A and B are shown apart, each in its own frame.
Chain A
Amino acid sequence: AQSVTQLGSHVSVSEGALVLLRCNYSSSVPPYLFWYVQYPNQGLQLLLKYTTGATLVKGINGFEAEFKKSETSFHLTKPSAHMSDAAEYFCAVSASSNTGKLIFGQGTTLQVKP
């Protein structure tokens, strides 16, 4: 079975500071990992995903994440936060390559202070 743990339900950073959102997963098979962003009252938008290959994955809006098998982690980072990054972020894992049955973490709300 798969599971996802996002460490920290709320993260606050200053504009221009590093953003680090933590995600750890549990999977009995090689995982497929995703980060989604949700702006208020909207659906979820895919930021980036890891399936196979390069462990450092670049996504939209300057975000990237690194798959670390030894640490079972897939942390999301951005070098410099922008006010528009304020949103809720979800990490998710899928056990299979051909299904969209994702297991989501509880989400992390990112606050960006001016």
Chain B
Amino acid sequence: SQTIHQWPATLVQPVGSPLSLECTVEGTSNPNLYWYRQAAGRGLQLLFYSVGIGQISSEVPQNLSASRPQDRQFILSSKKLLLSDSGFYLCAWSWETGNTIYFGEGSWLTVV
């Protein structure tokens, strides 16, 4: 079966500090990978998606970036965090030709 893990689960970072959230998927190959952000009362917003190693598409302009160094690894980064980057970040995956996405447990980021 397939599993998805992301870490850390909780992070408190000062404004201007860097960020790295990691996500890995097990039990599948060539998955599509996604980063979503959930802000309070605003639903979920797709930030990035990737269909393969090194292939990243950004959905919204922002202070964040994503990378996919390996087939089943997806990383969300920032060089300098802003207060507005606070939120709940969710990694997700889907089959290469599938439309159903499966979420990780999420990471709470608080920028102070």
Contact = CB atoms under 8 A, between A and B. Distances in A.
Contacts of A36: 103
A41 B106 contact: yes
B99 A99 contact: yes
Contact of B97 (A46, A98, A104): A98
Centre residue among A90, A97, A98, A105 by max chain B CB count within 10 A = A98
Interface stretch (B11-19, B36-44, B62-70, B73-81): B36-44
Interface in B57-100: 59, 90, 92-94, 97-100
Interface in A64-114: 90, 92, 94, 96-102, 104-107
Q: For this complex, into which size category does the number of interface residues on chain B fall? A: 20 to 34
Contacts of A104: 43-45
Centre residue among A44, A98, A100, A104 by max chain B CB count within 10 A = A100
B98 A100 contact: yes
A51 B100 CA distance: 10
Query: Interface residues of A: mostly helix, strand, loop or mixed?
Result: loop
B108 interface: yes
Interface of A: 9, 32, 34, 36, 41-46, 49, 51, 90, 92, 94, 96-102, 104-107
Interface of B: 32, 34, 41-46, 49, 59, 90, 92-94, 97-106, 108
The 5 closest A-B pairs by CB, nearest first: A100-B94, A100-B101, A43-B103, A104-B44, A106-B43
